[in-house]
Amino acid sequence: MATSSLTGERLRDKVCIVTGAASGLGRAIALAYASQGARLVACADLKPTPKSVFEAEEAGIPTHELICKRRGENKGIFVKTNVTIGTEVEALVQEVVKMGGRLDVMVNNAGIGGTENHGMVHEMSEETWDTVMSINSRSVFLGCKYACGQFMKQEPHASGHRGWIVNTSSIMGLVGQMVYGAAYCASKGAVTLLTKQIAVEYAKYKVHCNAVCPGHLRTPMTQDQFQDREMRTAISALTPWGDEWGSAKDVAQAYVYLASDDAAYVTGVALPVDGGYCAQ
């Protein structure tokens, strides 16, 4: 799979927010957006530095600082945000509009994994269910809510479109799987259908809403799985691509496409980027 850094102008002059941008897929998306000419990339997370640096590019540098180092001063900012709290998500959007003059792209990416052994449904605690649903699906609702509110207030982009939302779902938002818990699958399924509903509801206002459904990636979220040889082999066997897991960089390019004018006639899509998993 390609791992080189691609540069271009596909997101030229767009103001973007990426939640969960400190590490993993969110970091890769933020760096990819900056490399494609975004005017401003706001990196939203609880902390600017990740707990794990597994598979991280230039791991010692926070994402927003790396963007500024590569692309210029004020091209990236960090905004501390708890994405499960509506007032904080609203404040995030307001801060970015204050800095960038508008909001063009909202990437609702923050989430937690389902890799912990939560057991079958009858063994799962209500607290586990509520926590996963809050972080993985409520946060996407809030991001969509406040992004759409801003899109409706502002003038259209030069392309004639008002805004782009890209949500992070999962292959587990399309199919069930034994590796992940019921709460994770349900939370990502909610993201998939929320994406389609918003796409239909806001199409007449020229707001795009799409989702990416990543397969098994090498990220801090899956570090324990990947480094457990038995687990890694079992998961690899599920994917037609074989023993090669995807990288965050591979998947980030799909987020670039869905936020670009190349996707001018695309909305309501849940796009698997999964090495062929969902083709089976």
Round to whole Å and give the CA distance between 37 and 70: 11
Identify the bridge partners of residue 167 per DSSP, sorted by sequence position.
Answer: 108, 211
* 237: number of Cβ within 10 Å: 9
How much of the chain is helix, strand and coil, in % rounded to 5? 45, 15, 40
- The pLDDT value given to residue 52: 63
Band of pLDDT at residue 138, cut at 50, 70 and 90: very high
Q: Which residue range forms the structural domain that includes residue 145?
A: 15-214+248-273
Number of domain units in the chain: 1
> What CATH code is carried by the domain that includes residue 93?
3.40.50.720
How far is it, in rounded angstroms, from Cα 144 to Cα 165? 7
- Any catalytic annotation for residue 184? yes
Residue 232 lies in a domain: no
239 part of a folded domain: no
Q: Which of 137, 189, 184, 174 is nearest to 273 (CA)?
A: 174
Strand partners, 55: none
The answer to whether residue 6 sits within a structural domain is: no
Is 226 inside a domain boundary? no
The mean pLDDT value for 7-26 works out to: 94
Domain membership flag for residue 82:
yes
Q: Model confidence at 223, in pLDDT bands (50, 70, 90)?
A: low
Which pLDDT score, from 0 to 100, does residue 217 have? 74
7 assigned to some structural domain: no
- For the residues 86-97, what does the mean pLDDT come to? 98
pLDDT at position 165, please?
98
Higher pLDDT, 205 or 2: 205
The pTM is what?
A: 0.92
Q: What is the pLDDT of residue 121?
A: 87
- 39 within domain boundaries: yes
Q: Which of 33, 184, 202, 277 is catalytic?
A: 184
Tallying the residues shown for the chain, one arrives at: 280
Residue 42 in domain? yes
Q: What is the pLDDT of residue 120?
A: 83
pLDDT at 53: 62
